[in-house]
Amino acid sequence: MTRSLFRSARTTGKTLRVVLIKPSKYDDEGYVIRHFRGVLPSNTLACLASLTRDVAGRRLLGDIDIEVELFDDTVEKIPVRRIIRSHRLPRTRTVIALAGVQSNQFPRAADLARKFRAGGLQVLIGGFHVSGTLAMLEGVSPEIQELLDLGVTVVKGEVEETWGDLLRDAAEDRLRPLYDFMDHKPDLHDRPIPMIHGDYLRKFIVSNFGTIDCSRGCPFNCSFCSIISVQGRKMRERSPEALIRTLRENYARNRVNFYFFTDDNFARNRHWREIFLALIRLREEERIPIEFMIQVDTQSYRIPDFIPLAARAGCTQVFIGMESINPRNLEAVGKTQNHVQDYARLIAAWHGARVATHVAYIFGFPFDTPESLRSDVARLQSELQVEQASFFMLTPIPGSQDHARMVHSGEPMHPDLNDYDSFHETIRHPNFRPGELAASYREAWKNFYSFDYMRDVLRRANPENYRNIFFNFIWYRNSTLIEGGHPMLHGFFRLKDRVDRRPGCVVESRLRHFLRRSREIRATLRSWLALALEMEELWLQTRKRSEAELRLVAEIQSLRSQLNRNLRAAELQLAHIRTRLQFPELRVPSRLALALRNLNFGMAKRLAYSRSDLRQFWQRATARPIRLLARPHRVVLNFLKDAQLFFLFLRDLARA
Ligand code: SF4
């Protein structure tokens, strides 16, 4: 569906239509990775939408009107033909901006660019792939040259100070092949803050979640990272006042109150104190319940006041670039700011402030072996006790020092950029047989997000963080085990467009596609049911109970052990009355309600610590269905109990 963000006030002049597109990538079968609901909205789209609105608002193009549309390929189909058709309207120029294109998205972006160019439209492409590659390699790489030959305009660097000039060139049909803004990195201080659009957010699983980059750059020098070659090692920050104004506005307009501040290293944002203090005022004086997660380096815990102020400002989760717990690996990749001996103190410092920790961990560093990786994952759980880990396969990302070195030395690299998503094996590692690194990697996801470890984490979690961690577990299990991809790329319920397939892949007949998708959807629904029951069990075993509830359960168990049988309604009522002596807020249900305990939601919730009895009943029932038919009342009762518990589970999650 078209999402027209805005159009400037009508004049009698020409119109420039700016179509902002965030490309997705292809899966291993050549289908575009697209979901019914995504998880992470694109910050680049929000940035460019705000910049375009600013250009229109200040009428930088004179009497040329501006219309903007925004599409995210990861959550919606790009209406290529309609966009091309609308270009034929009189006195209208259309420019396509393929925004924030990373290396793994480049093949998809290039295919979209070809289609739009064939339709006669002007196309811009920017982002980490083109900027990083052009910054680190001499000359122009073949895939970028191919786009230049097609007439696509390549934008190297950031456009905060030059977007108006680019759009003017587009409106006047005089775009140049290459714009190079790399040597002049824009000052972000007074540039428009990325604004979140409500309609766009509704494409995501939670619509109160936004992303904003409060700063860019990083002072460190890790050899696998392309941030430094694109954004530089000098930090550039947005104005804290403008940021807070935007958060206030986003809350008032779209009820957005949870943020991922996408700065690659928030701890090095020189305005962190001002931002945290302003957030504290928002939360404590204006009652705007902002919460957020940030990315920081491993030395963040040494910055005086940083952690306590972050926690008070609403930080619920911190993403830490740990990368490895082998010092030799860290030294080999230039991550010398990470000191393994400090990790326990670092994690304890964040835990002390009741902030959940989420570490980035890379597989494929020089000193990794299958055994060392297995033991590293176990140590993350047992020694460091981090709540979450995101695993990445070491990938020679164009724009990184590793990539440049490998190009110069002629080391083999996987030829398909589509696989540069840190979920595929793209380099040969001497300590691993082909495919073994990928196998270790997949095993790590499975082992880390095991039921037992998730249960331990949730039991330790502080009540305010319980819900966030629980949802993250659902998201991560769904992405890695059901969708089979990285959580940063996968949302919920995969869509596959039959005809929008990677060039070279055969487009299936309607019937064949229907049969295949029916099979896949059935398998997904089965996996979802298993995941839902697993998460329900996790909730039953870990949910936070009030003191009164714990006391009541103890009373009931003590009565039960004295009488050695199930309790009658009057006896259950007695347990409630006894507990109420200590906890006057406890409501005592009527005897009728207690007699109908199998239909009583309150009792079901208080007494259930697991659904293992129900699981065993259904297992026995399916193994011996004849016995089941002889006792239909037990089937009905257990079904009601199961349905009731599941309803309570969903209601609790929705309310928490
Ligand atoms: S990996 Fe992180 S710490 Fe290292 S250079 Fe990149 S952003 Fe900075």
- Name the residue among 52, 68, 244 with its Cα closest to residue 167: 52
pLDDT of residue 2: 38
Q: Would the CA dihedral through 428, 432, 433, 439 be positive or negative?
A: negative
Alpha helices, H only, 22-71: 43-57
Whole-angstrom CA distances from 398 to 31, 152, 216, 437 are 24, 20, 19, 21
- Name the residue among 295, 453, 306, 322 with its Cα closest to residue 391: 322
CB count in 10 Å sphere of residue 652: 14
CB 220 less than 6 A from any atom of ligand 1: yes
Query: 55: which 2 tokens?
Result: 């250009």
User: Ligand 1: which atom is nearest the Cα of residue 224?
Assistant: 1
Q: Give the mutation target among 215, 220, 362 for probing the ligand 1 site: most ligand atoms within 8 A of CB.
A: 220
Give the three-class secondary structure for 288.
coil
Dist. CA 394 → ligand 1 center (Å): 14
pLDDT along the chain (656 residues), means of 10: 54 84 97 95 94 93 92 96 86 94 98 97 97 95 97 97 96 95 92 85 88 93 94 94 94 91 94 97 95 95 97 97 96 95 96 96 97 97 96 97 96 95 94 95 96 96 91 94 90 94 95 97 96 95 87 85 80 86 84 73 73 88 79 84 89 78
CB 228 less than 6 A from any atom of ligand 1: yes
Structure-token match 């409630």, residue found? 576
Query: 399: which 2 tokens?
Result: 């724009």
Q: Give the mutation target among 213, 221, 227 for probing the ligand 1 site: most ligand atoms within 8 A of CB.
A: 227
- The pTM assigned to this predicted structure is 0.90
- Name the residue among 451, 400, 395 with its Cα closest to residue 426: 395
Dist. CA 273 → ligand 1 center (Å): 21
Distance CA 549, CA 608 (A): 12
CB 218 less than 6 A from any atom of ligand 1: yes
Contact (CB, 8 A) for 212 and 268: no
Whole-angstrom CA distances from 136 to 226, 486, 649 are 9, 27, 51
Question: Which residue CA neighbors atom 6 of ligand 1 most closely?
Answer: 225
Structure-token match 């928030």, residue found? 266
DSSP of 161-187, one letter per residue? TTHHHHHHHHHTT---SEEE-TTSPPP
Give the three-class secondary structure for 224.
coil
Query: 152: which 2 tokens?
Result: 């696509």
pLDDT of residue 5: 58
Pairing of strands 215-216, 236-237: antiparallel
- Name the residue among 440, 441, 461, 508 with its Cα closest to residue 355: 461
Whole-angstrom CA distances from 142 to 80, 130, 145, 149, 497 are 25, 11, 5, 10, 29
Map 95-127 to HEC letters.
EEEECCCCHHHHHHHHHHHHHHHHCCCEEEECC
Contact (CB, 8 A) for 17 and 174: no
Distance CA 216, CA 233 (A): 9
Q: What is the pLDDT of residues 9-58, one digit of tens each?
A: 555 568 999 999 999 999 999 999 999 999 999 999 999 999 999 999 99
**Helix H or strand E segment including 34:** strand 34-37
Structure-token match 């239509």, residue found? 17
CB 263 less than 6 A from any atom of ligand 1: no
Distance CA 313, CA 304 (A): 15
Q: Which residues, 6+ apart, have CB-to-CB distance to 75 below 8 Å?
A: 34, 35, 36, 37, 38, 203, 204, 491
Query: 103: which 2 tokens?
Result: 């290396």
Q: What is the pLDDT of residues 232-285, one digit of tens each?
A: 999 999 999 999 999 999 999 888 999 999 999 999 999 999 999 999 999 999
pLDDT of residue 554: 87
CB 264 less than 6 A from any atom of ligand 1: yes
CB 225 less than 6 A from any atom of ligand 1: yes
pLDDT of residue 198: 82
Distance CA 46, CA 210 (A): 10
Structure-token match 């934008």, residue found? 155
User: H helices then E strands: how many in the chain?
Assistant: 26, 17
Alpha helices, H only, 259-391: 272-284, 306-313, 327-332, 343-352, 370-379
Amino acid sitting at position 257: N
pLDDT of residue 635: 86
User: Ligand 1: which atom is nearest the Cα of residue 227?
Assistant: 6
Distance CA 260, CA 43 (A): 10
- Name the residue among 83, 182, 174, 171 with its Cα closest to residue 126: 182
Contact (CB, 8 A) for 212 and 243: yes
